[in-house]
């Protein structure tokens, strides 16, 4: 019996995706406390027990309390965009799953990368950024077309198509 269990465990080499959520709680804007949370939706790609890629997404027009983290130019970009999106992307090993797989597919869906450095500078100063090892993530801001599929579906080698929920 034990031999059967060990044999079956050693044979589990499936790639899988998992979905969840993550939030950075509160923050500071211009010296005043923000009570809102930055609520991300999360898509994680695993090979066995190894996290190969993690994608956290949120709509930038849904972060009212954090508007102060944006420069005036960034606010204008968000207001002029039908579907502004922020993605935080982590990859364990760029030779296995590259971040460019995400950005290229987003652009194929009609999204354009926009500058968002002021917001990023504020994001990295949030205490939860360090506590949750988000320094290992790269951030991308996108402006999406008027109509986008919901959820967004991306494909990665060796995985079933995955959903990026917004």
Task: Inform me whether the pLDDT recorded for 125 exceeds 90.
Answer: no
HSE of 148, CA atoms in CB hemisphere, 13 A: 28
Question: What percent of the chain is predicted at pLDDT more than 90?
Answer: 57
What is residue 42's predicted lDDT score, i.e. its pLDDT? 96
User: In which band, very low, low, confident or very high, does the pLDDT at 88 lie, cut at 50, 70 and 90?
Assistant: very high
Q: How far apart are CA 104 and CA 98, in angstroms?
A: 10
List, for residues 43-87, the tens digit of each pLDDT value. Answer: 999 999 899 999 999 999 888 788 888 999 999 999 999 999 999
User: In which band, very low, low, confident or very high, does the pLDDT at 13 lie, cut at 50, 70 and 90?
Assistant: low
Task: Inform me whether the pLDDT recorded for 18 exceeds 90.
Answer: yes
What is residue 67's predicted lDDT score, i.e. its pLDDT? 86
Structure tokens at 6: 């060990």
Mean pLDDT, rounded, of the chain: 87
Query: Where along the chain do its domains lie?
Result: 15-164
Task: Inform me whether the pLDDT recorded for 95 exceeds 90.
Answer: no
Structure tokens at 53: 């890629």
Give me the sign of the Cα torsion angle 70, 74, 77, 83. Answer: negative
């Amino acid at each position: 019996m034990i031999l059967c269990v060990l044999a079956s465990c050693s044979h589990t080499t499936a790639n899988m995706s998992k979905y969840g959520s993550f939030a950075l709680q509160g923050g500071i804007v211009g010296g005043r406390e923000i009570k809102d949370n930055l609520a991300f939706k999360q898509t994680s790609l695993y090979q066995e027990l190894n996290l190969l890629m993690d994608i956290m997404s949120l709509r930038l027009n849904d972060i009212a309390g954090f508007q102060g983290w944006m420069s005036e130019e960034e606010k204008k970009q968000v207001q002029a965009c039908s579907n502004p999106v922020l993605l935080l992307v982590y990859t364990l090993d760029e030779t296995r799953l590259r971040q460019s797989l995400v950005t290229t597919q987003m652009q194929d869906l009609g999204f354009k990368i926009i500058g968002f450095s002021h917001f990023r500078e504020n994001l990295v100063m949030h205490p939860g950024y360090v506590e949750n090892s988000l320094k290992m993530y790269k951030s991308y801001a996108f402006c999406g077309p008027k109509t986008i599929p919901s959820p967004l579906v991306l494909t990665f080698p060796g995985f079933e198509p995955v959903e990026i929920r917004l």
